[in-house]
């Protein structure tokens, strides 16, 4: 699909289904406008939208955007919000673009002025205010959520990142307030299968749990996160202190509503 044709269809979005979905979910809906886009790394593109900041909810929440699939049908994809600028009324997303899919196509082709239907806030995972330390584990698809959540930690606090990447430039960093201790472990996938947990498990093994109570947040590939969760439980972290959200599943296309296949087969 050529870029010009894609943009023309996006700009003619009808919002009836979006409004119905938002009403059913008990959240808000809006048409947002693309303000800017840029490629941050080999795998991650940044898309900034002008829209209602309340759609972004709190750190850890995501929004649903309405995009076209390869057949020209409108479907939805979910993306965590990286930044919210209340004064400017903008939401910034980090979208992984190193694979084929409707969300990637949208992020690659989006141009300033394009319109897109947005539903939000979505998601149930937020920062644990009672935790003394927070460990964020997953792949590059989780970086936007990880950094927004970690930047909401109140001092004194500690954030640990264990993130698997496919390219050196995907090791994007962020700035944090004084009083927040930061540890970053980026794991090179080295050609392993996308659902091979070995890299993250090795990174986790190199991490010694701090004292006091911690909370783990797992965002990324379905099968990999299941293995990481099991490893955390084996090391004594209670299940109530592990929050996990699969963003995608290797070898399978996410459903039209944006969720990965979670069947046992």
Tokens matching residue 65 = 């955007």
Q: Assign 168 to helix, strand or coil.
A: helix
Q: Which residues, given as ranges, of the chain have pLDDT below 50?
A: 1-14
Q: Which domains does the chain have, with CATH numbers?
A: 3-122 (2.40.30.10), 133-248 (3.40.50.80)
Residue pair 90/49 in contact (Cβ under 8 Å)? The answer is yes
| Beta-bridge mates of residue 30 | 118
Output b/e per residue, 80-93; b: 16+ Cβ within 10 A.
Answer: bbbbbeeeeebbbb
Q: Which two tokens stand for residue 247?
A: 């963003």
Q: Residue 240 and residue 257: Cα distance in Å, rounded?
A: 27
**Quick check: 91 and 81 in contact, CB under 8 A?**
yes
Looking at residue 14, its pLDDT comes to 45
| Residue 11, pLDDT score | 42
* pLDDT value at residue 15: 73
State residue 10's pLDDT score. Answer: 42
């Amino acid at each position: 699909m050529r870029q010009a044709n894609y943009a023309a269809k996006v700009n003619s979005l009808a919002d009836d289904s979006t409004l119905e979905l938002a009403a059913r979910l008990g959240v808000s809906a809006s048409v947002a406008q693309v303000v800017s886009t840029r490629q941050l790394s080999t795998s991650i593109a940044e898309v900034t939208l002008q829209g209602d900041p309340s759609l972004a909810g709190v750190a850890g929440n995501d929004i649903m955007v309405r995009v076209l699939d390869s057949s020209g049908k409108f479907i939805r994809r979910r993306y965590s919000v990286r930044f919210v600028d209340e004064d400017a009324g903008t939401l910034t997303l980090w979208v992984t673009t190193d694979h084929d899919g409707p969300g990637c196509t949208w992020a690659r082709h989006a141009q300033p002025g394009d319109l897109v239907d947005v539903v939000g806030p979505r998601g149930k995972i937020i920062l644990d205010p009672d935790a003394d330390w927070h460990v964020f584990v997953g792949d590059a698809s989780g970086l936007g959520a990880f950094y927004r959540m970690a930047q909401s930690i109140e001092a004194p606090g500690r954030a640990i990142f264990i993130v698997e990447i496919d390219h050196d430039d995907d090791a994007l960093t962020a700035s944090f307030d004084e009083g927040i201790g930061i540890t970053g472990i980026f794991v090179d996938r080295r050609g392993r299968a996308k659902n091979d947990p070995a890299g993250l498990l090795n990174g986790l093994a190199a991490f010694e749990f701090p004292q006091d109570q911690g909370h783990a947040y797992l965002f990324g590939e379905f099968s990999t996160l299941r293995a990481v969760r099991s490893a955390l439980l084996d090391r004594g972290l209670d299940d109530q202190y592990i929050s996990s959200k699969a963003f995608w599943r290797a070898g399978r296309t996410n459903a039209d509503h944006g969720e990965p296949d979670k069947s046992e087969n």
